[in-house]
Amino acid sequence: MEYQDIELLRFTTAGSVDDGKSTLIGRLLYDSKSIFQDQLDAVEASSKSKGFDYVDLSLLTDGLKSEREQGITIDVAYRYFATPKRKFIIADTPGHIQYTRNMVTGASTANLAIILIDARKGMLEQTHRHAFIASLLRIPHAIVCVNKMDLVDYSEEVYANIVSDFKAFSSKLGIKDIQFIPISALNGDNVVNRSENMDWYNGSTLMYHLETVHISSDHNLVDCRFPIQSVIRPHTLENQDYRGFAGRIDGGVFKPGDKVKSLPSGFVSTIKTIELNGEQIEEAFAPMSVTMTLEDEIDNSRGDMIVRENNVPEVSQDLEVLVTWMSSTPIQTRTKVVIKHTTNETVGMVKELKYKIDINTLHRIEDIDKVEMNDIARVSIRTAKPIFYDAYKRNRQTGSIIIIDEQTNETIGAGMII
């Protein structure tokens, strides 16, 4: 199999400060031999120079840490690794309490979330927050790693109590697939290699789970959605009539011969060809990036969407969204913003602030007059032009928006359309 054909799993790690996130990622890379020899030599040398008699794996992710300590804001650091079975992208987000926004940024495209719990401390407020956000973002799979099992004598009872506490909270959330694994990131128990210290655990290791969890059906393959990213028109004589629409399929399966409709124009045509990496294919589905041509000359441009004639998304200028606010400037009613939705962009205005959600109790806080950094709130937004969307619970791509500051062009919020 070609490297590019190996399936890609995106995951995010969430834990409180010092739960062992860096150590765990380092252990995954180290034991799966996914790191390069020079990096390894550097880490071994650096561990030795600090007087450690073991290799400090958190040093592998320390580049990130030192930048953070210098106060450079890195929201999310992406790291890549691969095993013969899968490619992985980890969205690594810092564990401090104010970093909800980072988790949201890292998790919005994730297939899976690893939630770390320190076996000595059990569930903390942060754990509630992470579990809640994972469910809010509908990350399809979660793995709860109970870490530092070596510090609780690899006790089955300690583990079982944490699992039961977690389940009591998460039963209110509706995360579809949750696995629990007792690990020691430091010693490597159940990370890549099976632990010899926990006979009582019969489940799989973390790496085995990451390599085998079934993700191909995580995408919506029912509602055909193809937001156009760019229009390709080669200006050569023999290609004069060619007009290709390039983009990523956000939902459904498309085939040449399919009757399609173009939004917002409403024009109907038939798919002539679909190309992937310059070759014509007979079928394309989410999340492939392809180029389509149509039988008829339709004047589509960036931000338009190709869908099936009988299955169209909602079209509206009024959006009900659950936003995570990421800016130190709060939003209020009448705040003007720029909305990015798939490949489309429009200005909009906040019409109404409905309520905030208390992450620990999951209760609503009503009668609010602003939404501040890290708040999760339900708001109504009116856009200047219509948006073609699906509810986030139906499609994570066509159901989400990013909110941009008109002046600074910074991302100030992320929203899920209800």
Ligand X SMILES: Nc1nc2c(ncn2[C@@H]2O[C@H](COP(=O)(O)OP(=O)(O)OP(=O)(O)O)[C@@H](O)[C@H]2O)c(=O)[nH]1
With contacts defined by CB under 6 A, name the span among 21-29, 138-146, 262-270, 339-347 that binds ligand X: 21-29
Residues 219-278 that bind ligand X (CB under 6 A): none
Q: How far is the CB of 119 from ligand X (least distance, A)?
A: 8
Only one of the segments 165-173, 180-188, 245-253, 298-306 lies at the binding site for ligand X (rule: CB under 6 A); that segment is 180-188
Which amino acid is present at 4? Q
Q: Which is nearer to ligand X, 21 or 130 (CB)?
A: 21
Give the residue from 92, 107, 95 showing the smallest Cα distance to 137: 107
Least distance between ligand X and beta carbon 216 (Å): 31
One character per residue 122-161, x = contact with ligand X (rule: CB under 6 A): -------------------------xx-xx----------
Q: Which of 379, 397, 262 is nearest to 340 (CA)?
A: 397
CB 23, min distance to ligand X, A: 3
Interface with ligand X includes 92 (CB under 6 A)? no
Nearer to ligand X, 62 or 405 (CB): 62
Do 201 and 209 touch, CB atoms closer than 8 A?
no
Site for ligand X contains 31 (CB under 6 A): no
CB of 168 to ligand X, least distance (A): 24
Q: Applying CB under 6 A, which part among 16-24, 102-110, 299-307, 308-316 lies near ligand X?
A: 16-24
Q: Is residue 14 within 8 Å of 114, Cβ to Cβ?
A: yes
What torsion, rounded to 10 degrees, do the Cα atoms 296, 298, 302, 307 define?
A: -60
Closest distance to ligand X from the beta carbon of 361 (Å): 25
User: In whole angstroms, how close is the CB of 25 to ligand X at the nearest point?
Assistant: 8
User: How far, in Å, CA of 414 to CA of 393, rounded?
Assistant: 15
Cα 322–chain centre separation: 16
Q: Which stretch binds ligand X (CB under 6 A): 31-39, 181-189, 212-220, 245-253?
A: 181-189
Distance of closest approach, residue 116 Cβ to ligand X, in angstroms: 7
The residue from 11, 20, 226, 303 that contacts ligand X (CB under 6 A) is 20
End-to-end distance of the chain based on CA atoms, in angstroms? 40
Nearest alpha-carbon partner for 84 in 214, 213, 211: 211
Residue 163 dihedral angles phi and psi, to the nearest 5°: -60, -45
For ligand X, which is the closer residue by CB, 22 or 400? 22
**Cα 191 to the center of its chain, rounded Å:** 22
User: Quick one: which segment of 15-23, 120-128, 172-180, 205-213 binds ligand X (CB under 6 A)?
Assistant: 15-23
Q: Amino acid letter at 150?
A: D
Site string for ligand X, 195-214 (x = CB under 6 A): --------------------
**CA distances to 279, 334, 342, 375 from 327, in Å:** 43, 16, 21, 10
Decide: helix, strand or coil at residue 289: strand
**Which of 184, 324, 342, 344 lies at the binding interface for ligand X (CB under 6 A)?**
184
Phi, psi of 348 (to 5 degrees): -155, 175
When asked if residue 314 is in the footprint of ligand X (CB under 6 A), the reply is: no
Q: Which of 15, 140, 303, 313 binds ligand X (CB under 6 A)?
A: 15
At closest approach, how far in Å is the CB of 136 from ligand X? Answer: 21
Q: Is residue 186 a contact point for ligand X (CB under 6 A)?
A: yes
Number of neighbouring beta carbons within 10 Å of residue 242: 13
Q: What is the DSSP string of 321-366?
A: EEEEE--SSPB-TT-EEEEEETTEEEEEEEEEEEEEE-TTT--EEE
Number of residues that bind ligand X (CB under 6 A): 19
407 CA to centre of own chain? 27
Site for ligand X in 35-64 (CB under 6 A): 58
Binding site for ligand X (CB under 6 A): 15, 17-23, 58, 65, 94-95, 147-148, 150-151, 184-186
